[in-house]
Amino acid sequence: MFAANMIQARYCSNRYNRWPFSLEITAMVASAPEMLIGASTDFLRRFSPFSQMEVEALQFLASRLELSFHQAGSDILTPEMGPPEHFFVVQRGKVLARQAGLAANAELAILPLGPGECFPIGAISANRPSANTYIAAEDSFIFRLPAADFRHLMQLSPVFHLFCTHYIASLLHQSRQQLQTTFAQRAAEQQTMTTSLHKLIKHPAISVSPDTPTRKVVELMAETRVGSMIIVDESAHPCGILTKSDVLTRILLAGFDLSRPVSEVMTNGPHTMMASASAYDAALAMATHGVRHLLIVDAEDRFLGVVSERDLFSLQRISLRQIRASIDSASDTDGLKRASDDIRQLALNLLAQGVGAEQLTQFISALNDALTCRILGLERERHQLGDIDFAWLAFGSEGRHEQTLSTDQDNGIIFVCPDPTLRNEMQARLLAFARSVNESLAACGFPLCTGNIMASNPELCLPLEQWQSRFDQWMREPEPQALLNASIFFDYRVIYGNQRLGDKLRNWLNRNAKKFSNFLRMMAENALTVAPPIGRIRDFVLEDDGTIDLKKSGARLFVDVARILALRVEVASSSTVQRLREAGGRMGVLGDEMSAIIDGFHFIQLLRLRAQCLDAERAESERLGDNKIKPDDLNELDRRILKEAFRQARKLQLRLKLDYQL
Amino acid sequence: MSWLSRLLSNRADVSSLDTALRETLTQWHMLPAPDLNKSHFETRYVVVNTEATGANVARDRLLSVAAIAINRELVVSADSLYASLEPDPATALTNLLSFVGNDPVVVFNSAFNRKMLEHAFSQQLGIDPEWTWIDLYWVLGELFPVMPAQGARLAEWMRLFDIETFQRHHALGDAFAIAQLMLAVQSKARSRGIYTPSSLSELEQRIRREAAQ
């Protein structure tokens, strides 16, 4: 019996068994290592970047992982351990990363890592000791990968390599792709690059058979004014194309006999594409093959029509251009109100197409600028401003080119007063004008500012010298209200009128702000009063209503620090990103480090825009309110990026803290 | 006289046996006794788990065996074994024997598991391995006194530690869950001054005795 059974057994060496003489059946079913590797693979696949990783690389990773257990409170990795011997992936539990040397500010410097998150990235890539201490916050199961295998994985997997080298940027990229998918559905009715080609065929298909005399074809082209003629066989399958330039080069210049059939002069095998493909596919095909026309066919390869490069381009710009045109041609508030609705819709479309937050907020700001300028232009005609030299200022997010979809008005006027006796009379005329503008803006969907930060407020409609003395006063006596004012008014920008008035004020500010070191210091203190809402135990610290306010405890963290840095190193721009980039460069912050911070800011802005779009679709009673999100509503990836974005905010704050010894 | 010793004593049927199997059994017999007084970190534990047609030792058959090593307090996928008893129980069991060697064996709720396995070893290979068995069923409740009483089921411990496995009630699937529990046990035991397999085994036996009283 024994011997008979042995016949089926096959043996192979197993390098993992400790006995050189061991034997193993190569079974038909999956082996134990295969099953366990499969379990690890399934786990990893639930998390980014492993979910995007190449099959072979993921398999390698899973096969090399070692599972370990760490009791709550135990060190997993510390700077003292030297260059890390392992790369870690949390399987279950929670790990805290604490920045070395900042133990006193424990709250500020702690970042929790949960399942699927990994560490260290920078230290192991650069083979230097970790800057953080990693401690198990609860009893945790942790996978570890030997450093040599980590390096091999970097080589093996472009996805993993990108993840490690551009950690936050790669997460953002994925999030944007997901966002695109989510919103593509909503924007489907809109003409976008996802429109199917079927809808883009403008003219009925004109085609001829291959044996048609060439003269006839050229005549038909002249008659119908089509740029190219399609030649189809008896089953309506396209077999050739003749374009206008072919007529010139192959027929006219070559002296081709016009009585010969067109099949002798046409280009054979034209590029075709199914009508169900998208405009984007078509653009890609045109770029790839270097052609300007694509023949659109149905599922049976029958010719339906032509889509040209121009059709696609107009599609891409149509909404932007249209809105711009309708703003410029509007003669009353009604027309502008429609344009304002269009801006919102466009933002949704662009969001759906995966346009990033920076471009998006710039688009919105640009269109809102155009809208505001048009209103100012219309109102100016109705008011007797004579030759008053003035500039219309935008403050706050509008001043920074960072408008989202819900922004109330923050504006003011700066004017030139050559004769003090005329001041009050000039101001009165400007105030009347400003009042009309504020009302029109409100009618177009920019609510009046509840804090009365508007040009129709006499306090905010001032000659240059008075603006200067106000700023001067705030900087000299930085009491709380002054600091609040500074945070609003320092981010001004001229959007209409004499640009040079704004420049003068900015130059004056930049020259003087540095003198008031106490003012900058207090601004810094003020900026640090709001901490990023990351919790020690839970991922996020929530407001009482279970949400996070992405403006108050998100974007503002970056904006406030950027403003102070800009004042300190004299950056003229009012945009947060520009300020960070320029100030970072002058202060010797590494480019990569600043990019990561800026990416974090962009992500929060993107989430705000998305939240606003989603909120607008909800019933009144279910709205969360502007800028509010529930982290539980976010997917795993976005939650992680948000955490990372907050971490970047904290980094920025820490920098300020160190600079001012706070 | 056991089947194996008959085999090794050059009885007539030896020639009909597979050399590789015989060799393996011989080598297993020659293994030195394990040193159970090394630390957990220096020890290779083997989690063993089985699947059977039912719970009656006399009537039911063993279907498959699975084993996962915990070496230096780590679980590594490659150091694992899964074998179906059919069609060749002798090879499957010999492979398990070779995989475990003389290392301490870790099981969960093993009374039945162990009987089934020992029965199979004796039937198929004519041997009775004298392994050190450590049953986490007893140990866990002592080290993690969060459960209301002794005797929580595997599913409950898995829930407590938030442990997942790829397939429940599969010999290897459950072994993987038990292996993860063993990682936690080693770590916790150490902080309780239980540094070696022998002291862990003593702990298990003490609790088992107390439960019996």
Please report the pLDDT score of residue A64 as a whole number: 95
Last residue of a domain, one of A148, A165, A182: A165
Give A-chain residues touching B143 at CB under 8 angstroms. Answer: none
Half-sphere exposure of A409 (CA within 13 A, CB side): 29
Q: Worst-scoring range by mean pLDDT, A8-22, A105-119, A552-566?
A: A8-22
Q: Do residue A23 and residue B66 have CB atoms under 8 angstroms apart?
A: no
Please say whether the beta carbons of A640 and A117 come within 8 A: yes
Residue A26, pLDDT above cutoff 80: no
At A495, give phi and psi (nearest 5°): -115, -5
For chain A, the domain total comes to: 3
Q: Looking at residue A84, which CATH number applies to its domain?
A: 2.60.120.10
The whole-angstrom distance between residue A123's C-alpha and the CA centroid of its chain comes to 28
Residue A365, pLDDT above cutoff 70: yes
Residues A40 and A117 in one domain: yes
Question: Pick the residue with more confidence: A337 or A316?
Answer: A337
Give B-chain residues touching A20 at CB under 8 angstroms. Answer: none
Cα–Cα distance between A580 and A652 in angstroms, integer? 10
Please say whether the beta carbons of A607 and A630 come within 8 A: no
Domain boundaries, given as residue ranges, for chain B: 41-212
CA distances from A235 to A267, A273, A298, A477, A489 (A): 19, 17, 12, 85, 71
Give A-chain residues touching B16 at CB under 8 angstroms. Answer: 2-3
**Closest approach of A187 to chain B, Cα-based (Å):** 40
Cα–Cα distance between A45 and A39 in angstroms, integer? 10
Q: Worst-scoring range by mean pLDDT, A5-19, A108-122, A291-305?
A: A5-19
Residue A387, pLDDT above cutoff 80: yes
Residue A650, pLDDT above cutoff 50: yes
Q: Looking at residue A227, which CATH number applies to its domain?
A: 3.10.580.10
- Using CA of residue A252, residue A257, residue A260, residue A263, what is the dihedral sign? negative
Question: In degrees, to the nearest 5, what angle opens at C-alpha B153 toward C-alphas B149 and B157?
Answer: 85
Please name the residue that has the structure tokens 């500020």.
Answer: A108
Structural domain range at position A151 = 32-165
**Closest approach of B99 to chain A, Cα-based (Å):** 7
Residue A654 is assigned to a structural domain of this protein: yes
Please report the pLDDT score of residue A15 as a whole number: 35
Residue range A492-511: average pLDDT? 91
Looking at residue A449, the DSSP 8-state letter turns out to be: P
Please name the residue that has the structure tokens 């300007």.
Answer: A292
Residues A141 and A203 in one domain: no
Q: Which helix (H) or strand (E) holds A641?
A: helix A636-659
**Closest approach of B166 to chain A, Cα-based (Å):** 5
Residues A217 and A132 in one domain: no
What are A185-216's pLDDT values in tens digits? 444 434 556 677 887 787 667 889 999 999 99
Residue A509 is assigned to a structural domain of this protein: no
Q: Do residue A93 and residue B162 have CB atoms under 8 angstroms apart?
A: yes
Residue A495 is assigned to a structural domain of this protein: no
Last residue of a domain, one of A314, A332, A361: A314
Residues A584 and A653 in one domain: yes
**Closest approach of A36 to chain B, Cα-based (Å):** 5
Give B-chain residues touching A17 at CB under 8 angstroms. Answer: 98-99
Looking at residue A420, the DSSP 8-state letter turns out to be: G
**Residues of chain A contacting B, Cβ within 8 Å:** 2-3, 5-6, 8-9, 11, 16-19, 21-25, 27, 29, 31-33, 35-40, 42-43, 62-63, 65-71, 92-93, 139, 141, 144
Q: Worst-scoring range by mean pLDDT, A27-36, A171-180, A406-415?
A: A171-180
| Average pLDDT of chain A, as a whole number | 82
Please report the pLDDT score of residue A319 as a whole number: 54
Q: Do residue B16 and residue A38 have CB atoms under 8 angstroms apart?
A: no
Q: Do residue A23 and residue B91 have CB atoms under 8 angstroms apart?
A: yes
Residue range A47-53: average pLDDT? 88
Q: Which helix (H) or strand (E) holds A221?
A: helix A214-224
Residue B10, pLDDT above cutoff 50: no
Burial A353-380 (b: 16+ CB within 10 A, else e): bbbbbbebbbbbbebbbbbbbbbbebbb
Residue A16, pLDDT above cutoff 60: no
Residue range A66-83: average pLDDT? 93
Helices marked H in A277-354: 279-289, 309-329, 333-352
Please say whether the beta carbons of B105 and B93 come within 8 A: no
Please say whether the beta carbons of A110 and A98 come within 8 A: yes
Is B41-212 in CATH node 3.30.420.10?
yes
Tokens of A328: 């410029």
Residues A205 and A129 in one domain: no
**Closest approach of B173 to chain A, Cα-based (Å):** 8
Residue A350, pLDDT above cutoff 80: no
Sequence-ordered list of residues with C-beta below 8 angstroms from that of A625, at least 6 positions apart, any chain:
A547, A615
Residues A201 and A299 in one domain: yes
Cα–Cα distance between A540 and A641 in angstroms, integer? 12
Q: Do residue B99 and residue A17 have CB atoms under 8 angstroms apart?
A: yes
Residue A412, pLDDT above cutoff 50: yes
Cα–Cα distance between A108 and A656 in angstroms, integer? 13
Last residue of a domain, one of A273, A296, A314: A314
